Amino acid sequence: MPKLRAFLLALAFLGLTLLSIPIQWLSIRLKLKLQRSYPHAYHRLLCRMFGIRVTVVGRPIRDRGVLFAANHAGYFDILVMSATMPVSFIGKKEVNTWPLFGLMARLQRTVFIDRQRRGDVGNARDVLRERLRAGEALMLFPEGTSTDGNHVLPFKSALMGAVEADIGTDADGRKIYAPVQPVTISYVAMHGIPIGRENRPLYAWYGDMDLLPHVWEALKSGPLDVVVEFHDPLTIGPGRGRKQIAHEAEAIVRAGHIRVARGDWGSTQTAA
């Protein structure tokens, strides 16, 4: 039965994706509002198909440009965050070359970055500022890599520099800065049973794991419960530059991760 489930889900995923690619491509070419909302609807449907139930805690910023900063356990984070709200991602350049998944990332208007080249990071910051000025929601994984889901790694501050430049002024002429909203993503249960360390590799993709075999095993594993907690936003200010913002966001996300592991959280809505 697990193999049959995985096979049927893989077929459904390919069918939905092949149908969605021309719709999203056309939306981007024609600059339709659908280019932001369609990936959200697509990932909501994928979560339902895969049996991923997302519980949202807190309130994400929706009325202005925002940089979300979250912990990262693997490709499921993309489905979960995009199912929660319309968002584009900031990803490493290698993703752009992956078969199918690279195309999907481009169609979600991902900003690709070569973190090893300082010039590329600087150019990316300029692109991110413009996207934030346009009121877009961008998703950054500041750890710089995916993890085993048991820990939160130190947050890197380089791309936080995108929020150091103002995105406009208010009615009184004061500069306005895009907020950074910390987000904790926690995988809490499979088949309704709390996930232990021994089962985390079933969804957490990290290290030198091969992608496609991992996806196959994940599809065989069954329903998954995820908690996404949106914390109070942080903004640039006196004595609070990108490094301080990264440090504060890391501490907030780590505390949220520990709190959810202890079962100390409450929900406000279910996204998928």
Question: Which ranges of 30-90 does DSSP label H, i.e. alpha helix?
Answer: 34-50, 76-84
pLDDT over threshold 80, residue 79? yes
Read off the pLDDT of residues 151-167 as tens digits, 9 standing for 90 and up.
899 999 888 888 887 77
Query: What are the tokens at 200?
Result: 């985390």
Indicate the pairing of strand 168-169 with strand 175-176: antiparallel
DSSP designation for 51: T
Instruction: Name the residue among 227, 47, 251 with its Cα closest to residue 149.
Output: 227
Helix (H) or strand (E) holding 113: strand 111-113
Q: Which amino acid is at 109?
A: R
Residue range 240-265: mean pLDDT, rounded: 89
Domains of the chain: 2-270 (3.40.1130)
Residue-wise pLDDT for 183-225, tens only, equals 999 998 888 888 877 777 778 887 778 888 888 888 888 789 9
Give residue for tokens 């926690």.
186
Cβ neighbours for 69, distance < 8 A, ≥ 6 positions apart: 140, 141, 142, 155, 160, 180, 181, 182, 183, 246, 249, 253
At 246, is the secondary structure helix, strand, or coil?
A: helix
Output Rg (C-alpha) for the chain, integer angstroms. 18
Task: Please tell me the predicted confidence (pLDDT) of residue 81.
Answer: 96
Q: pTM for this structure?
A: 0.90
Q: Which residues, at least 6 apart from 189, have a Cβ–Cβ distance to it below 8 Å?
A: 195, 224, 225
What average pLDDT score do residues 7-26 get? 95
Give the three-state DSSP class for 204. Answer: coil
